[in-house]
């Protein structure tokens, strides 16, 4: 049986990990390569890098990070943030990422999903969706709207429509982030997660809101997500990936326990 995946997410700006990430061990906490090695050894099933570098002319720094990560860890990892063109995708994949994730760039130009899938295969193309709960309307029948630019801009696009559209265009996976739950530590947006997971035939990664192992259990079991993205709970060592997996396993969730 397929295991549910636990995926730590690292934000990287100008080649350095952001947020005050705390570690007891002897690790340069600003170095994304060392952080990736740490989580690889801790049993992460995959790692997500999100490049939040503001200026696009500093993009080469991230490509160098990707290259060094690829030499260090031997599990899949994806890179997102500022991906706008097929060339952006190609540089990330050639540098050694398994997958590339596209978010605002796909809203502005949905064709990039199909072009990317055609050029590199669907399994490489992850659609990142930032979603906000809104009043149900004719335009937004699900009551969940796609937002872009870190949640600052509404798009008028229904989240369920967009998920299905992206699958049709050739996305291989969806990383579903609830803007409302993000950073609250009060749990994933379960209604949204199950709505999307039940209505597409590609894997869905739940994102935003993890504060406890119970929250991760709910997203994977109750809301049927295929994977859970985690950030501050592991960065601040609230618990470790091993803790998460042991508890999920004891509650009957299939996870990878040997690495």
Partner 1 sequence: MISIIDYEAGNLKSVERALKKLGFACIITQNKEEINRSERIIFPGVGAAGKAIADLRRLGLDNVLIKAFEEGKPILGICLGAQIILEKSEENLTKCLGLIPGEVRLFPRPLFSSDKERLKIPHMGWNGIEIIKRHPVLNGVGPDDEFYFVHSYYVKPASDEYLIGVTEYGIEFCSIIGYRNLIAVQFHLEKSGSPGLRILKNFCKWDGTYNA
| One of 29, 52, 75, 191 touching partner 1 (CB under 8 A) | 75
Work out whether 5 is an interface residue with partner 1 (CB under 8 A).
yes
Contact string 11-50 vs partner 1 (x = CB under 8 A): -----------------------------x----x-----
Those residues whose C-beta lies under 8 Å from the C-beta of residue 148, and which sit 6 or more positions away, are 103, 104, 107, 108, 130, 155
**Residue positions annotated with a catalytic role:** 11, 130
CA 108 to chain centre: 19
CA atoms within 13 A on the CB side of 185: 8
Work out whether 71 is an interface residue with partner 1 (CB under 8 A).
yes
Those residues whose C-beta lies under 8 Å from the C-beta of residue 56, and which sit 6 or more positions away, are 82
Query: Segment contacting partner 1 (CB under 8 A): 25-33, 70-78, 103-111, 145-153?
Result: 70-78
Those residues whose C-beta lies under 8 Å from the C-beta of residue 87, and which sit 6 or more positions away, are none
Contact string 193-212 vs partner 1 (x = CB under 8 A): --------xxx---------
Minimum CB separation from partner 1 for residue 216, in Å? 16
Q: In degrees rounded to 5, what are phi and psi of residue 228?
A: -125, 130
Work out whether 172 is an interface residue with partner 1 (CB under 8 A).
yes
Query: Segment contacting partner 1 (CB under 8 A): 28-36, 137-145, 188-196, 251-259?
Result: 251-259
Q: Under rule CB under 8 A, which residues in 78-97 are in contact with partner 1?
A: 93-94, 96
Q: Which CB, 76 or 151, lies closer to partner 1? A: 76
CA atoms within 13 A on the CB side of 190: 14
Q: Which two tokens stand for residue 118?
A: 């055609």
Q: Give the chain's end-to-end CA distance (angstroms, integer).
A: 17
Helix, strand or coil for residue 10? strand
Q: Which CB, 93 or 159, lies closer to partner 1? A: 93
Interface with partner 1 by CB under 8 A: which residues?
1-3, 5, 40, 45, 70-71, 74-76, 93-94, 96, 98, 121-123, 172-173, 201-203, 224, 226-227, 256-259
């Amino acid at each position: 049986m397929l295991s549910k995946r636990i995926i730590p997410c690292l934000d990287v700006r100008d080649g350095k990990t952001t947020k005050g990430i705390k570690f007891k061990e002897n690790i340069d906490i600003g170095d994304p390569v060392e952080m990736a090695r740490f989580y690889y050894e801790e049993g992460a099933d995959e790692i997500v890098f999100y490049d939040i570098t503001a200026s696009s002319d500093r993009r080469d720094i991230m490509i160098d990070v990707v290259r060094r990560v690829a030499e260090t860890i031997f599990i899949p990892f994806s890179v997102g943030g500022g991906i706008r063109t097929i060339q952006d995708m190609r540089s990330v994949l050639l540098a050694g990422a398994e997958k590339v994730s596209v978010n605002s760039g796909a809203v502005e130009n949905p064709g990039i999903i199909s072009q990317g899938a055609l050029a590199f295969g669907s399994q490489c193309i992850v659609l990142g969706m930032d979603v906000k709960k809104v009043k149900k309307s004719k335009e937004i029948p699900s009551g969940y709207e796609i937002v872009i630019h870190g949640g600052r801009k509404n798009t008028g696009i229904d989240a369920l429509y967009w998920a299905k559209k992206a699958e049709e265009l050739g996305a291989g996976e969806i990383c579903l982030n609830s803007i409302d739950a993000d950073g609250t530590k009060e749990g994933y947006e379960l209604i949204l997660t199950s709505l999307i997971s039940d209505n597409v035939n590609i894997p869905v990664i739940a994102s935003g809101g993890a504060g406890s192992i119970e929250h991760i259990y709910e997203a994977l079991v109750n809301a049927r997500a295929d994977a859970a993205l985690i950030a501050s709970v592991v960065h601040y060592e609230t618990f470790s990936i091993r803790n998460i997996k042991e508890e999920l396993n004891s509650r009957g969730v299939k996870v990878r326990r040997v690495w």
